Amino acid sequence: MSGTISSDRQAGPDVNRRRGARRWVVVGVVIVVVLAGVGVAAAVGAFQGSGSPGPGAAGTAYRTSIAAVTRQTLTSQSSLSGTLADSGAYTVVNQATGTITWLPPVGRTVRQGGVIYRVNGSPVALWYGRVPAYRDLSEGLTGADVREFNKGLIALGYTTRADVLAAGLGLGYFGAATTAAWED
């Protein structure tokens, strides 16, 4: 075979040692540069803090305060699962006529039986159901609207299912138990 072959073995032991030493120098310089960059980033982050201006800074959207922090032993804990979400929008059917004189504060959740607003100073209660309150209810009436009204009274604890069913005409009957619960 003729020709020249270039390899580290043919270059000799001195050349190989110099190349190995040069590699370690390059690796060492890279490590020093990386560590210096991490140190600079940490120092800049410490000076900037959380990104909010310091106390007393004009135009800040963050409230600031000082609190003493103490190390203590954890005495109890609770683990809960849940999902946070918007409960959606619902249609409110209104039979009240007049001027709305009060609304709940923005963000307040109004549950069944609670005052959803006032008309001419009189409270309008929120009731759940698919059938709107399309008529005035009174003793002796029957229907889907009466059934939902009785279910609401039961859910709020003003009466029991057994009391409403005692008349023998079902949940859709406005009987004496419904009248007593409504008056309560």
User: What's the whole-number mean pLDDT along residues 83-95?
Assistant: 69
CA-to-CA dists, residue 85 to 50, 82, 88, 90, angstroms: 28, 10, 9, 15
Which tens digit of pLDDT belongs to each residue from 126-182?
888 888 878 888 899 999 999 999 998 999 899 889 888 888 888 889 999 899 988
Say yes or no to pLDDT of 71 above 80. yes
Q: What is the pTM of this model?
A: 0.47
Q: What is the pLDDT of residue 1?
A: 45
Say yes or no to pLDDT of 114 above 60. yes
Which tens digit of pLDDT belongs to each residue from 3-61?
445 444 555 566 566 667 778 888 888 888 888 887 777 766 655 555 555 455 555 56
Q: What is the pLDDT of residue 144?
A: 92
Q: What is the pLDDT of residue 147?
A: 92
Instruction: Classify each residue of 112-125 as buried b or exposed e, where b means 16 or more C-beta atoms within 10 Å of its C-beta.
Output: eeeebbbbeeeebe
Query: Could you tell me the residue ranges of all domains in the chain?
Result: 10-46, 95-126, 131-184
